[in-house]
Amino acid sequence: MQQNINLDMSQTTAVTCDDCSGVYFEQALVMRKASGLLTGTGQPSYIPIPVFTCKNCGHVNEEFLPKEVKDLG
């Protein structure tokens, strides 16, 4: 069930690209690969992780990365 939230946009903060100050973003995927030994299938599995990239320069702000991906370095 989707919840409607009534927000006043003047009370929000703009998000910009940390590299080029762009304001438009698009969704992209960070791909991780798990070996067949870890998955128990004998075949490698791919794990897609959604992130947002700057539409202008392609940069991914650190705040858009899940903690698990940030910790990988």
DSSP string, the chain: -PPP----GGGS-----TTT----EEEEEEEEEE-HHHHTSSS-EEEEEEEEEETTT----GGGS-HHHHTT-
For 27, the domain range is 15-70
Structure tokens at 12: 């929000």
Confirm whether 9 is domain-assigned. no
Judge whether 21 lies within some domain: yes
- Tell me how far the alpha carbon of residue 14 is from its chain's centroid: 17
Structural domain contains residue 4:
no
What's the CA gap between 46 and 16, in Å, rounded? Answer: 30
Instruction: Establish if 7 belongs to a structural domain.
Output: no
Is residue 20 in some structural domain?
yes
Q: What are the pLDDT tens digits along the chain (73 aa)?
A: 567 778 888 999 999 999 999 999 999 999 999 998 887 888 899 999 999 999 999 999 999 998 878 777 6
Quick check: is 61 in a domain? Answer: yes
What does pTM read for this prediction? 0.73
